Structure 1
């Protein structure tokens, strides 16, 4: 053992170097997709250089009830403001991936010894299982996708939590009750909670511990009677069984209510029942990518994935379900004869419970395999490490597998380091993905290839007329080539009539196009045309919720302001505020009026907010409530509103608020 450990340490270092070399071309890539929805929080309240701003930032998360503050905290390692350089974020992600590899090696070596294998085989299998996982090209789309640090950190917490729990359990087998119980609780409860603060699937740690207990430990490593066994049972029940049952119960309830409801979920085009039928197909696609790796795959854009609408549509629905349940059944049946294989299978499907069952998330994302696949290649490592048979063949595989995976990872990382090539390849792999084609068209427009972007967008619009991202970007491309036609606006209106959600897409596009329309830089695009798009969206029943209605009404006010109609703008801003009374909305609208030269109108909007502030939206459960509490403790909104009121008052007194020459409509009602 003393001679074997240094060799394994050197081989592990060599593996780490191979991983870094394989990933290094991708470190120079750019921000992508959801990065732009999450990372700008770094500068939302200004540079994070003092404690009040820090607390506002760390509680600003909206994903999951927790807001994922641990992930937000780690982003501060890379930047304290926005915009920022993507390189430090990607470098930190890669370092975290390597740390997870070291931790995984320790876990697999420990499990191998607990399974009864000698130290040499345990360590060799652990090294191979870790190397294949670290170098697998599928994980590039997690490691180099900055925002998916939130998928990597729960893996860190899960591995550390399992190692601490195993340490505590070993102490209990030695009769050290108090110390063993403390380590067990720290591992199961402490690191599960820490993992949840990064992403909700950190809550699966107790379920993983139960699988290890039932398959590997209980049949082989009993705990002495008396206090140690009682302590072990208490820890396993309170911090293992209870959380696991709660998760399974929540998923079952969500699925049952969704199936009984029967209709589409929110802005999703499918129902919960259809999602449940679809996910076995998705899981088999994931498993194919894991066991038949290739350098390139669909990447981030999988909105074209077809949901199963019935048991027979598509025809692969039922076979996929049979295969998934067959694998689970096989693992349960073979858990005594082949415990490592059974554990790897059940660990994988347990790891997919939150994101691949009844919770109505998007159907498909590659990063969902990062945590579930931790043990995936360990059984293969154990087989290769058994040198009693096929020794030369196994040695060849030990060398070929890591090197082959490193080559594929390097090729994929090179793609992630080249935004232009990446966009075009993803568009070619995903011809029916509106996101992939839009992304490619935007890259082509940035490269001055507007005609190519137009051809790309027009081809897909014919088949997906309700995709606003296609029609909006087509308008942008036509603006770059001389102007738009009535047909372009008509296509955009058709999309606005049926789109289930625009998110921030329309608002961001509007911010770019309004100055273009006002200046006349794009023939055919006018403020009136933009207003007609907004009015169409306001009539769309799928956008009838208060949030979308507020966003569109606010943008309508922006058009009125750009057309020097302050009273009409104030009326729209007031209607938008009344839809959802929010101090941020009042502040933004009043500041916009003041910046446009109408401070007295801004003051009137602030007066309106003062009258209706008692009807302000209540924060949601979890982090939104804590964020609101932080803002209240800091007197943030009163301070900001008072500051704006003073500035608007000074501007009005200085004569900049004389709006008689600007007003073209009667005063807006209060």
Structure 2
């Protein structure tokens, strides 16, 4: 296969892929899209540099805040609520761009490995086409917020391309080669990491590609490799594995400890490999909180089998490195790229998008095998086999995209196929409620609470649905709090508590019926392990303040607002609380709270602020003037 033929066929694959994905553009946002994108509407339209900077610099999805990914969302919209189609369109273009860079990266790697020219373009086309068309990556591409994973992959691929392109200069222009290789690794690692943290693995991934290279000629000198590849790789691995801690209750907000996570991830990684090699139309979906946790090597027994399988696979990758380098690249790159998300860090167990970067070179052995098969049998038959493989992948992707094109249908599909997931069952209950079947939703949730007594989310949702139907009684609040004592912290349960508070506080009929019961529930939660988690510890007095304010119990409202501003210690949140008091006609209390908030604000480190100090100073001054004007008018009226 010539270079031109290979590239022309790749363009055809990219065009078909775009057409397939276009059927999913009409779907809505889902799951983590909302918390990550809703800040687009925090300050009105983002139409100034300061507003853009605030949005970009206030990410919370990881230690870096992922500012590059957040900045990319401004290409699609600058306000919220928004429409998902343009975001999904951009994600699809990024996926196609990744496919192009993968094709280029494979060509450069195989040239470095001294493969024949015809074999290089054959393997590059087949391997990259399988990756581009694979249905497993529909969930990464059409799940808007996973642009973070896409961009980390894009910058990693650019880094790999830049490295191997510069590496070709080693023979004739070594100084330029070393400079450009270092620049490619350094800049692209930073860009990838600030898109998503696993981009920090780029030096390790390039080290894997070098390690598997059977061609020992023209190799970078060991001093340069030690400085630019080994040192950053060791540093990143140290940062990851310093988190080793086999204590029993390491993560109070998780239902597994570190040992159980490692055991479980062995099964999960094997499952990832299975779905990548044996494609399916739809996978497990996003509701994986009910995934069966491995409690020991033998419980379930597939844990032991999975660990043994992975050890054998890793062993083969090392011993067959010289004979079958592309097999070693596929396996070692896959393992290396999973080092951050599938080992000791306290992340959720299972997400398909973790394979978007990991599987980049997984299909190299298949492409190479098809080339060898071409030498054994009729070449036209091999071309027909390739056509069938790519056609099947295109069909599976099309069917999956159609499912992803209807967000409600998709989430109901996941819910029905993941009965052990509390999040999934909550989706079914919410669907019943939206469909006008409120009492059916309560009956369903009652059965689910019995089936999953450990779920704080379902527990809180049951109370919420009873309040929605005005059928809750004091006993329901007491039973909810008793169950919460035995249940692990769940951030979504806290969100449900916020929803209940807002719903009650805004309804004149409900607040006098339920507000005190909810305040007592929050007080009882503050005497449990939930209060050890900062999210609940901060929000508890704030929710109580809202409820007291709705009841016009102003003394208790102010007392709880006073506690809340100290716990939040965030001028953005504190100004919002000041505004709530002022909106309720409590200008004097609002002024008092503003003064206390300003003292806290002045003591804050400027680096921790969401906006510039000058902007906050102007906002505080404006609110002060408004409050003074209101107070003066009140005094005049008296």
TM-score (norm 2): 0.94
Is the 8 Å Cα contact of residues 349 and 372 (structure 1) preserved in structure 2?
Answer: yes
Quote how far apart the aligned CAs of 1:614 are: 6.1
Map of 2:232 onto structure 1? 243
Matches within 5 A, 1:284-433: 284-386=270-372, 387-391=374-378, 392-433=380-421
Map of 1:151 onto structure 2? 149
Map of 1:636 onto structure 2? 615
Quote how far apart the aligned CAs of 1:448 are: 2.9
Is the 8 Å Cα contact of residues 500 and 543 (structure 1) preserved in structure 2?
Answer: no
1:601 matched to 2:571? The reply is: no
Alignment equivalent of 1:493, drawn from 477, 481, 484: 481
Map of 1:78 onto structure 2? 76
Quote how far apart the aligned CAs of 1:157 are: 0.9
Map of 2:188 onto structure 1? 191
Note the residue ranges of structure 1 that are not aligned, 5 or more in a row: 619-624, 661-670
The CA deviation string for residues 439-485 of structure 1, in whole angstroms up to 9 with x for no partner, is 23223322334355334423321122342322333344445556334
Is the 8 Å Cα contact of residues 518 and 526 (structure 1) preserved in structure 2?
Answer: no
Is the 8 Å Cα contact of residues 504 and 511 (structure 2) preserved in structure 1?
Answer: no
411 and 479 in structure 1: CA distance in 2 versus 1, 3 angstrom threshold: farther
Alignment equivalent of 1:63, drawn from 61, 64, 80: 61
The CA deviation string for residues 154-205 of structure 1, in whole angstroms up to 9 with x for no partner, is 1111111111111111101x22022212220122111111111101111111
Map of 2:539 onto structure 1? 551
Q: Which whole-Å CA distance do the structure 2 matches of 1:366 and 1:295 have between them?
A: 13
Q: Which whole-Å CA distance do the structure 2 matches of 1:508 and 1:122 have between them?
A: 55
Map of 1:272 onto structure 2? 258
1:130 matched to 2:138? The reply is: no
The CA deviation string for residues 614-648 of structure 1, in whole angstroms up to 9 with x for no partner, is 665x6xxxxxx7453x734x423322222222212
433 and 42 in structure 1: CA distance in 2 versus 1, 3 angstrom threshold: same
657 and 489 in structure 1: CA distance in 2 versus 1, 3 angstrom threshold: farther
Is the 8 Å Cα contact of residues 68 and 195 (structure 2) preserved in structure 1?
Answer: yes
351 and 288 in structure 1: CA distance in 2 versus 1, 3 angstrom threshold: same
Quote how far apart the aligned CAs of 1:657 are: 11
Is the 8 Å Cα contact of residues 466 and 494 (structure 1) preserved in structure 2?
Answer: no
Q: Which whole-Å CA distance do the structure 2 matches of 1:46 and 1:213 have between them?
A: 49
The CA deviation string for residues 394-447 of structure 1, in whole angstroms up to 9 with x for no partner, is 323201111111111111111111122112210111001011111232233223
1:647 matched to 2:633? The reply is: no
Q: Which whole-Å CA distance do the structure 2 matches of 1:654 and 1:511 have between them?
A: 35
Matches within 5 A, 1:22-101: 22-101=20-99
Is the 8 Å Cα contact of residues 484 and 522 (structure 1) preserved in structure 2?
Answer: no
Is the 8 Å Cα contact of residues 481 and 524 (structure 2) preserved in structure 1?
Answer: yes
Q: Which whole-Å CA distance do the structure 2 matches of 1:473 and 1:203 have between them?
A: 39
- The number of equivalent residue pairs is 636
Note the residue ranges of structure 2 that are not aligned, 5 or more in a row: none
Q: Which whole-Å CA distance do the structure 1 matches of 2:535 and 2:554 have between them?
A: 23
Is the 8 Å Cα contact of residues 45 and 57 (structure 1) preserved in structure 2?
Answer: no
Q: Which segment drifts farther, 589-598 or 55-64?
A: 55-64
Quote how far apart the aligned CAs of 1:351 are: 0.5
406 and 178 in structure 1: CA distance in 2 versus 1, 3 angstrom threshold: same
- 1:360 is paired with a residue whose SS is coil
The CA deviation string for residues 380-402 of structure 1, in whole angstroms up to 9 with x for no partner, is 01111331123354323201111
1:445 matched to 2:433? The reply is: yes
Alignment equivalent of 1:103, drawn from 101, 104, 127: 101
Q: Which segment drifts farther, 109-118 or 36-45?
A: 109-118
Map of 1:119 onto structure 2? 117
Map of 1:622 onto structure 2? none
Q: Which whole-Å CA distance do the structure 1 matches of 2:84 and 2:506 have between them?
A: 34
Is the 8 Å Cα contact of residues 279 and 356 (structure 1) preserved in structure 2?
Answer: yes
Map of 1:223 onto structure 2? 218
402 and 208 in structure 1: CA distance in 2 versus 1, 3 angstrom threshold: same
Q: Which whole-Å CA distance do the structure 2 matches of 1:441 and 1:524 have between them?
A: 27
Is the 8 Å Cα contact of residues 137 and 409 (structure 1) preserved in structure 2?
Answer: yes
Q: Which whole-Å CA distance do the structure 2 matches of 1:88 and 1:306 have between them?
A: 36
Is the 8 Å Cα contact of residues 471 and 491 (structure 1) preserved in structure 2?
Answer: no
Quote how far apart the aligned CAs of 1:512 are: 5.6
The CA deviation string for residues 203-238 of structure 1, in whole angstroms up to 9 with x for no partner, is 11111111111211xx415228xxxx5xx4444222
1:506 matched to 2:494? The reply is: yes
Q: Which segment drifts farther, 83-92 or 62-71?
A: 62-71
Q: Which whole-Å CA distance do the structure 1 matches of 2:534 and 2:4 have between them?
A: 63
Quote how far apart the aligned CAs of 1:247 are: 1.8
The CA deviation string for residues 264-315 of structure 1, in whole angstroms up to 9 with x for no partner, is 3141122222212221111011111111211111111100112222232222
CA RMSD of aligned residues (A): 2.4
Matches within 5 A, 1:607-622: 607-613=595-601, 616=604
Q: Which whole-Å CA distance do the structure 1 matches of 2:369 and 2:569 have between them?
A: 63
- 2:433 is paired with a residue whose SS is helix
